[in-house]
Amino acid sequence: MLYAYSNKRNHEPNGFIRLFRPHTIKSTKSIDLAVNSYYIAGVSPGHIYLGNATTPFYMLSLSTSLSDQQQVHIVISDTDRIKLKSFRIEVDSPIFYIKDGIAPLILSGTLKDLQVSNSIYDSTFFTAAVSISPSSFALRSSRNHQLEYILAKEQDDSPRVSFFPGLIQKQADGFFSTDGMLLSNKETNRLVYLYYYRNQFLCMDTNLSLLYRGKTIDTTSWAKIKVAKINEGKTFVLNAPPLFVNKTCCSYKSLLFVHSALRANNESRERFNAASVIDVYDIMNGAYKFSFYLYDFGGQKIREIGIYHNCLIALHDHYLVTYYLDQQIFN
C-alpha cells in the first residue's frame, strides 16, 4: 500500500511545466540481452561496454549499431581477486577501472590487453567513484564516525585523499536525504552530483570547487523521506518508500540528461505512464533547455542511460536500446 501511494504521487501534476523539443530522437535500434544483470560501464567511439553483476570479470562489448558483440575477459591477479568485495567496472577508453569501495581499492588497465596493470589502494572507503584522470578520482565517502556522505578527491600526489565538507548538504539525515549520483563530464572538466529525492544538483570543477548549485525544474526542494532508528539508534532505515525526483542521469559535452520521476502539469497521465521523460540542462550554468520522451520498450521503463556523441543508450530491464539524437541539440 505504501509503494502504491508513493508511485501515485509521482504521477500527479507537480506544479511545473516542460518544454518538449520536436524531432529530438531520429531513430532507434535494440537488442535483447536475455538477462537484467547488465549495467552501463562506458561508451566510446563506436562501442558500448556493459558490465555484468553476475559475471563481474567479463564485459559485453557491442558496436553502437548493435550489429557486432563479443564477451571480453578482464585478466586479474589472484591477489587482487581475493581483495575485491563488491565492484563495478568503468570504461573511459582506452582505460578501464575496477572500483571497489568496500575493499577499498581501484584497479586499472587498458582495453588493448584487458589486463590489470595498476593498483590504486585507497585510504578511505567510498560508495561512489568516477575517474577524473588516470591518476585521480572523485569519491563519495563518509569521514570518521559521522553519519553523513561527503565528497572527496583521491590522487597519486600527497595528500592522497582530500575531503570537501559542505558540498553535500543534508536535510532529514545525512545519508538518505543526501543520496544521489556522481558523474564526470570529460568534455567540460566538470563533476556533477545529482540528488535522488530533491530538485537539486551540484556542479564542480575537477578540484571539487563548487561552481554553482543547480535546480531541476520540478518543485520538490525537500526530500520526502521518513527515517527510523533501529538497533538502539545505531542503524537508520527508511520507514516508507521515498519519493524519487531524479532516477538516473548522464552527461556529454555541455548537456546534462536527467531521467525525471515526476509528471509536469502539461503532461497527460497516459503519455507519462507509457514513457520515461528526459530533462536536458546546460551543464555550464544549470539552465533548463528542453525535454523529450523515451518510450517504454518491452513493457519496461529505462533504468540506466549513457551517451557518446549523438548516441544515447538506455537499458530497459534486459533490453538495450540506442537512440540517435539530433546533433543540433549540442550546438
Tens-place pLDDT, residues 219-273: 999 988 777 666 655 566 666 678 899 999 999 999 999 999 999 999 999 999 9
- The amino acid occupying position 210 is L
What number is the average pLDDT over the span 99-105? 92
**249 within domain boundaries:** yes
Q: Is the pLDDT confidence value at 41 over 80?
A: yes
Report the pLDDT averaged over residues 54-77: 95
Q: What type of residue is 183?
A: L
Parent domain of 105 = 2-325
Strand arrangement, sheet containing 200-205: 180-185, 190-195, 200-205, 210-215
Residues near 325 by beta carbon (within 8 Å), at least 6 away in sequence: 24, 25, 26, 307, 310, 311, 312
Residue 118 lies in a domain: yes
pLDDT of the residue at 241: 73
For 194, the grid coordinates are: 545529482
DSSP assignment of 275-295: EEEEEEEETTT--EEEEEEEE
Task: Please give the tally of structural domains in the chain.
Answer: 1
Mean pLDDT, rounded, for 77-97: 92
Per-chain mean pLDDT for the chain: 90
Task: Report the pLDDT value the prediction gives residue 284, as an integer from 0 to 100.
Answer: 97
pTM, to two decimals = 0.92
Quote the CA–CA distance of 75 and 51 in Å, as a whole number: 14
Asked whether residue 132 is domain-assigned, the answer is: yes
pLDDT in tens, 171-198: 877 678 899 999 999 999 999 999 999 9
Helix (H) or strand (E) holding 9: helix 2-11
Evaluate whether residue 331 is within a structural domain. no
Q: Give domain status of residue 131, yes or no.
A: yes
User: 277-324, pLDDT tens digit by residue?
Assistant: 999 999 999 999 999 999 999 999 999 999 998 899 999 999 999 999
Q: What average pLDDT does this structure show over 141-159?
A: 83
Query: Hey, what's the torsion of the CAs at 56, 315, 90, 126, to 10 degrees?
Result: -80
Across residues 60-84, what is the average pLDDT?
93
pLDDT confidence of residue 25: 92
Average pLDDT of the segment spanning 155-159: 84
Q: Residue 120: which CATH number? A: 2.120.10.30
Indicate if the alpha-carbon torsion angle 304, 253, 326, 257 is positive or negative: positive
What is the C-alpha separation between 208 and 192, in angstroms, rounded?
10
